Structure 1
Amino acid sequence: MLFGTGALQKRKRDGGEEVWLVGDVAADHSVGIMVVAKELEMEGKDGAFELRLRVPDVKHSLMGLMKKREVGEFLSGALAGAMTKAVLAPLETIRTRMVVGVGSRHIIGNFLEITEKQGWQGLWAGNSINMLRIVPTQAIELTTFEWVRRTVSSAQESWTLNGGPKLQVGHVNVDLSLSWVSPVAVGGAAAGIVSTLICHPLEVIKDRLTISREAYPTIALAFRKIYKNHGIGGLYAGISPTLIGMLPYSTCYYFMYETIKKSYCQSKNKKALNRAELLLVGALSGLTASTISFPLEVARKRLMVGSLQGQCPPNMVAALQEVVREEGLRGLYRGWGASSLKVMPNSGITWMFYELWKDVLLVDRSHL
């Protein structure tokens, strides 16, 4: 027997058919099933009745959502980041230790120290928070890059055809053209800044777990201790050098990737790169961007974990001065080798997986 929560209404269609409409919820209590329906129709003709339940097509709605470009890019970035980090977590652990001056100055030495003290699982110290961090970070970063790049390109095309806005200063008219702006560079800068502002606290917690597992044994405890001792500011320790360092890194990173990829495709008369070529182009773009911004990365790490050693520089400039005073200019690139070994495969594998997932999730948008 069917029951409806709304009032039962009788209407007539053209042709004399009777239609009964009921509220939003209908239930069959004989089997204990409740159906959320937009309409419950009962049509009668010549003494025969037909009962129809119109239920929202959830599967169709989800499929439509998945076909949206931004959703596909978001999921592609999240999956690519997760798969990459699962493979490269040991290099991330060693790189972080070398950058902040914990343990051996050499890659092999750090590797042996970690495995001796913590076993093989020590190489994945902080990887759970790393995975929680990289999934939203990579998804937000790549989606922001794609969206901003398209938006700027669209604005450039529109202003070229219709003319851009003009600014009048006294008797002088200034044409505000966007022709000199690189959509890729703007998208890269925006991607780094947006993802950093949203996900920076997870980066702080991840570094604490990596450097001092005894003091911060779990993610929840690390969050509580940092917030209790330093407030919200503690979760954003090092945010200034991170944002400053992110601008040259992210801008260069995306610009180099798109430029190398486009140039290579033109030289080989290809429309797209294969997986091996994506791996190589991504690795080169990551190495270039990392080399340019690495001193700021050193300062950032010093600020983020300096309180653990009882010596926390007050700002980025002080952190850079401290490094130069203690270790000379070479200290600004301490850990660069380990960082490159991590950044190159990380960047290459990320782009390879990202383009792969885009091909799968955006199969009907091959022009992207």
Structure 2
Amino acid sequence: MSEHVVTAVEVDYEALPLSAGLGSNMMAGALAGISEHAVMFPIDSIKTRMQVLPTTPSAISKTLYQSLSKVSATEGLATLWRGVNSVILGAGPAHAVYFGTYEIVKEWAGGNRPGHQFAATALGGAAATIASDALMNPFDVVKQRMQLQNSSYATVSQAFRSVYKTEGISAFYVSYPTTLVMTIPFTAVQFTCYEFLKDVINPSGAYSPGTHMVAGGAAGAVAAAVSTPLDVMKTLLQTRGTSKDARIRNASGMLEAGKIVWAQQGLKGFARGLVPRVVTFVPSNALSWVAYEGFKVFLKDP
């Protein structure tokens, strides 16, 4: 009898995306997204500074710890959180769309069938990225502008108005194709690794925060490392309006951004910010998945 009860609970958890409803999945995704980005924001700020070309020597140091200490000492601890409001405003809706789309497409493609459904989970992740990035990209642009050293923006609304007034609506989406080229494989790798590791570590499918943390963190590390070169190009495009380099200011897309990075830094330029990017995604991805899976259970229908 007890074995039957356990099995029923496990099946209910694995079927949660359907039984809980789209609203619960989207709410879980929104809460997970806000948690993920807010906690790791200071390290993301250092990553952004490392990737900007040309890098101002006073903006960062050789190591992540030294950079965090240097910024805190010279500019104040609050500087590391500048722009976090943009992330919070955008991450909630974007992650709601992200996880909602993922669950719908994964179910449609057969990803909830028994066994490792790599194609279905990858397709779900890619579709989720296309939808969420369209919503998040303008907020990401504002976030990165505010993260830069000596940023002139005091508030998110001021940054939005200033960028729109001086550069037009295109400034918010010039990096969108690059973002998709980066995040579609990132998300496909992340979801595939996560679902695979989750099944390997916890084949019963029972709710297990430890499993979600380990699988999520490992999946985030792999996906972050693989996609760093594209993230460097994305950062160049999103911060181009702040550069004094005419070629950077006029960069119109991913290929031009790649040529600029290659010309100024060579191959090593595409690895700029690798360490803080991976360091950011291991705990943030682990937190995101733990929060998402946990919120799904908490928000599920009676």
TM-score of the aligned structures, taking structure 1 as reference length: 0.70
1:128 is matched with 85
Deviation string, structure 1 residues 162-220 (Cα, Å, up to 9, x no partner): xxxxxxxxxxxxxxxxxx98211110000111101122111111111111554222111
How far, CA to CA, are the matches of 2:241 and 2:35 in structure 1?
32
- Structure 1: stretches of 5+ with no match in the other structure: 1-66, 158-179
- Deviation of 1:272 (Å): 2.4
Q: Which runs of 4+ in 1 moved over 4 A?
A: 154-157
Question: Contact (CA 8 Å) 2:33, 2:288: kept in 1 or not?
Answer: yes
Q: How far apart, in 2, do the equivalents of 1:152 and 1:186 lie? A: 8
Query: 1:109–1:155: structure 2 CA closer, same or farther, 3 Å change rule?
Result: closer
Q: 1:363 Cα deviation (Å)? A: 5.4
Hey, what's the Cα distance between the residues in 1 that align with 2:163 and 2:30? 27
Residue in structure 1 matched with residue 39 of structure 2 by the alignment = 87
| Mapped pair 1:238 → 2:190 | no
1: CA distance between counterparts of 2:118 and 2:288? 27
Is the CA contact (8 Å cut-off) linking 1:204 and 1:237 kept in structure 2? no
Give the structure with the larger strand fraction.
1
Task: Name the counterpart of 2:202.
Answer: 265
Structure-1 residue corresponding to 2:296: 358
The CA distance in 1 between the partners of 2:166 and 2:216, in whole Å, is 40
Q: Which residue of 1 aligns with 2:221?
A: 287
Matched residue of 1:328: which SS?
A: helix
Asked whether the 8 Å contact 1:95–1:338 carries over to 2, the reply is yes
Rounded to whole Å, the distance in 2 between the matches of 1:256 and 1:146 is 16
TM-fit CA distance, 1:109: 2.9
Larger deviation: 193-202 or 89-98? 89-98
Look up the SS of the partner of 1:182 in the other structure. Answer: helix
Contact 1:257 1:282 in 2 (8 A): yes
Tell me if the contact between 2:202 and 2:211 (Cα under 8 Å) persists in the aligned partners: no
Residue in 2 that maps onto 1:27: none
Q: Distance in 2 between matches of 1:230 and 1:86?
A: 28
Name the structure 2 match of 1:323. 261
Whether the aligned pair in 1 keeps the contact of 2:43 and 2:276 (CA below 8 Å) is: yes
Deviation at residue 240 of structure 1 after TM alignment: 1.6
Return the alpha-carbon distance in structure 1 between the equivalents of residues 242 and 107 of structure 2. 43
Alpha-carbon distance between aligned partners in 1 of 2:28 and 2:111, rounded to the nearest angstrom: 23
Greater C-alpha radius of gyration = 1
- Return the letter of the residue paired with 1:209: M
Amino acid at match of 2:27: L
Deviations 1:286-328 (A, max 9, x none): 1111122111111010111022112323321222222223222
Query: Aligned-residue CA RMSD in angstroms?
Result: 2.2
Aligned to 1:97: 49
How far apart are residue 113 of structure 1 and its match?
2.6
Distance change >3 Å, CA 68–CA 259, structure 1 → 2 = closer
Does 1:111 pair with 2:68? yes
Match in the other structure for 1:247: 184
- What is the one-letter code of the residue matched to 1:130? V
Question: For residue 141 of structure 2, what is the aligned residue in structure 1?
Answer: 204
Q: Is the 8 A contact 1:261 1:273 kept in 2?
A: no
Rate the CA distance shift 1:195–1:213 in 2: closer, same or farther, 3 A.
farther
> 2:4 corresponds to which residue?
none
Instruction: Report the alpha carbon displacement of residue 251 of structure 1 after superposing the two structures with TM.
Output: 1.1
1:149·1:186 contact (CA, 8 Å) conserved in 2?
Answer: yes
Match for 1:77 among 9, 29, 47? 29
Give the number of the structure with larger relative contact order, counting CA–CA contacts within 8 Å between residues 6 or more apart: 2
Q: 1:154/1:290 Cα in 2 relative to 1: closer, same or farther (>3 Å)?
A: closer
* 2:236 is the alignment partner of 1:302: yes
Give 1:298's aligned amino acid.
Answer: V
Is the contact between residue 257 and residue 285 of structure 1 (CA under 8 Å) also seen in structure 2? yes
1:342 equivalent in structure 2: 280
- Equivalent position of 1:177 in the other structure: none
Find the residue that maps to 1:215 and give its secondary structure: coil
Q: After superposition, where does 1:53-202 map in structure 2 within 5 Å?
A: 69-100=21-52, 101-102=55-56, 103-104=59-60, 105-153=62-110, 182-202=119-139
Are the structure 2 counterparts of residues 155 and 343 from structure 1 closer, same or farther at C-alpha, using a change threshold of 3 Å? closer
Partner amino acid for 1:116?
A
1:141–1:191 Cα contact (<8 Å) kept: yes
- Kindly provide the amino acid, as one letter, of the partner of residue 109 in structure 1: Q
Number of corresponding residues: 273
SS state at 2:174 partner: coil
The CA distance in 1 between the partners of 2:30 and 2:170, in whole Å, is 27
